[in-house]
Structure 1
C-alpha cells in the first residue's frame, strides 16, 4: 500500500458547476504530488458532483477519494466528513469555487517541515470574475504560538478563514465543527490555532478567493445572526487561554467585528427595511451603553456614534448606512 500523502485537500462540492473545473485544474497541476484530494458531494442539486468525479477519474497523477452525502450536511459537517476519510498528516480546506497557486502544496509542505509547524497560514487575494484583485488577505511573516495567533484573530489583525490555513489533521479532527451555522470558520480557526504549538505565518499569496455575486458574503442572508452563536462559542473556547488583555480583545472581536458586521450587512444588503428590521432590532437589544463607550475607548468614536443611531432607532441607522453605502 502506498505511503499516505503529506496533505489531504478537503474539497466540499455544492452548487459550483460553473467553477469546479477551474478549481480542480489548479489542484491537479500542482508542482508537488505529495497530497490527495478528498472531494465530498454535499448532495448538490446541480452537476457539480458528477463533474468532480469525472475529472478526478480521468487522471492518475494525484490520488483522490470521492464521497457523496445522502443529504445536505452543510460546509462544516462536510469538511469534517472529508477529514475523517483523509490519510494526510495535514489537511487543507479549499472552497470548490476558488483556485490555488500552482506551487501551493510544495511551499506549504516546506514551511511546515522547516518550522515543525502545526498550522501554516498563507496570504490570499479576493478576485473578481474579471480577474481584478479586490483586496489581499495578509498574514505577516513570522513563527508564533497558537495562542498568539488566536490573540491576533481577536485583535482583528489576522483573518479567521479556514481556506488559507494548513492544519495538522489530528488537531482539525479534535475541534468542534459547528453544524447549521454560517461564519463557522471563525469558530474552527480559533480552536485549531488554540490547540497548536507552532504557527508559521508566511507572506506568500497562494490562494485566490473568488468574489461571486451569488456568494454568501455578497447577498443578503438573514442567517447572519448566526454570528451571535459563533461569538458565544469563541468566547467559551478562548476563556481559559493565557491571552494578555483578553477582555478587551474579546470585546473587539465580539462587538467591533461581529455586532458591526451583523448590523451593517443587514442595512446594506437587505432589499427592504422590513427585512432588515428584525436583525437590526436583535443587535440593538444586545447593545448597551457600556458597549458604545467601549468602542470609543478602542479608538473607534465614529463607529460608536453610528451604532448609537442603531440604539436610538434601527430606521435611523438603516437610512444613514444605506445613504453612505451608495456614495
Structure 2
C-alpha cells in the first residue's frame, strides 16, 4: 500500500470565524501521513492566536507555522508553504474552507496504481450549488489534460488538487505573487505541463461562499484590470513555450477574453467595454486568419475573432455587433461569462 507523505498548505489571513473548522477537518483525516504547514500572512484579527492555541492542544499531526514579515497575499502564502513542504505531494487548502474526513485518503488511493502528477477531487459549495467538475473516475494524460481544461471539464481553483511536489518544482509551477486570479495563471500552466492526471468523483472539499454585495462598476473595472494582467502572463508563457499555434491554448485565451468583453456588454457596462476593448485587442498573439488556415479554429470562431483583423476602433464596433447578433438578440448563453 502506497503511503506518501502529504503536505497540506494553508495560508492564514483574517479568518478567525472559520479557521477552527478548517483545522478540525485536517486533524480529523483518516489518512495519517500528513504534515500541516500554516502560513501567517499578517492579518489584522486573532486568526493566528486561535491557530497557536489549537496546535498547542492538538499534537497528532506534524505542524509548522511560517510567518511572513508583512502581508503578501495568497500566492506568496502558497509559495512559502511549498518551500517548506517535505511531502512527496502537496495539497492547497484555503483557510475559510474545510475538507471531508476521507479527503486525503480518497485522493491518495489512485496513486497506488500510478504516481500521477495531479489527482483532482470533487467539491461542493456551502450554498448548495453544484460544482463544475464534469469528469469522474477518469485518467487523463498529455494533451487530454489541456483539452479537457479548455472544455471546462475540471475547475481552475488550485485547492483540492493533490500535486506531486517535484512536478510543480521541475516545471516552475509556483504562484504569481502580486496578482489576483492567480489560480487562472497557475491552472493554465499546470494543464499545459501535466503528463498524468486522475479525477475522482468523491466530494472531498467544502468551499465557503461568502455573502457579498452586487458587483459595482468600480469593482468590475478592477476585475477587468486583474484579468488583463493575468492574460499578459499567460500569453508570455504561451510564447515562451512555443505554444502559439496550440488549439486548446487559443480556445482558452480567446474564449475567456470574449467572455469578459461580452459580460461587460450584457451588464450594459458600455463605458467599460469602450474603455478596455483596445487593451484586449492589443493582447492578440496570433491572427485569427492564420489560426483558421492552420485549422486551430473553425469558421464560427473565425467570425467571432475577425475584429482583430481590422483597426481597433472598427473592431470594437464589430465585436459589439457580433455580441448583439449571437447573444443579446437571440438570447444564447455566453460562453465564459464572468459577472
Same fold (TM over 0.5): yes
TM-superposed CA distance for 1:239, in Å, is 5.3
In the other structure, the counterpart of 2:150 is 154
Higher mean alpha-carbon deviation, 172-181 vs 19-28, is at: 172-181
Query: What is the CA deviation profile of residues 137-192 of structure 1, one whole-angstrom value per residue up to 9, with x for unaligned ones?
Result: 33333212244212322333332221121111122233242111112113222333
* Structure 1 unaligned regions, length at least 5: none
Query: What is the CA deviation profile of residues 84-136 of structure 1, one whole-angstrom value per residue up to 9, with x for unaligned ones?
Result: 111111000111111111100111111123222121112222232xxx23544
In the other structure, the counterpart of 1:92 is 91
Q: Tell me, what secondary structure is at the counterpart of 2:249?
A: helix
Kindly tell me: are residues 89 and 196 of structure 1, through their superposed partners in 2, closer, same or farther at Cα, counting changes over 3 Å?
same
TM-superposed CA distance for 1:66, in Å, is 1.0
Kindly tell me: are residues 314 and 91 of structure 1, through their superposed partners in 2, closer, same or farther at Cα, counting changes over 3 Å?
same
User: Which residue, out of 173, 176, 179, partners 1:175?
Assistant: 173
Q: Distance in 1 between matches of 2:91 and 2:314?
A: 42
Q: Distance in 1 between matches of 2:101 and 2:260?
A: 33
Q: Tell me, what secondary structure is at the counterpart of 2:113?
A: helix
Q: Tell me, what secondary structure is at the counterpart of 2:95?
A: coil
TM-superposed CA distance for 1:286, in Å, is 5.8
Q: Distance in 2 between matches of 1:10 and 1:117?
A: 19
Q: Tell me, what secondary structure is at the counterpart of 1:123?
A: strand
In the other structure, the counterpart of 1:312 is 317
Compute the TM-score of the two structures, normalised by the length of structure 2: 0.74
Q: Distance in 1 between matches of 2:173 and 2:151?
A: 22
Q: Distance in 2 between matches of 1:113 and 1:241?
A: 32
In the other structure, the counterpart of 2:78 is 79
Matched length: 307
**8 A Cα contact 2:175 2:186, kept in partner:** yes
Cα RMSD (Å) of the superposition? 4.0
In the other structure, the counterpart of 2:300 is 297
Compute the TM-score of the two structures, normalised by the length of structure 1: 0.77
Kindly tell me: are residues 281 and 64 of structure 1, through their superposed partners in 2, closer, same or farther at Cα, counting changes over 3 Å?
same
**8 A Cα contact 2:37 2:65, kept in partner:** yes
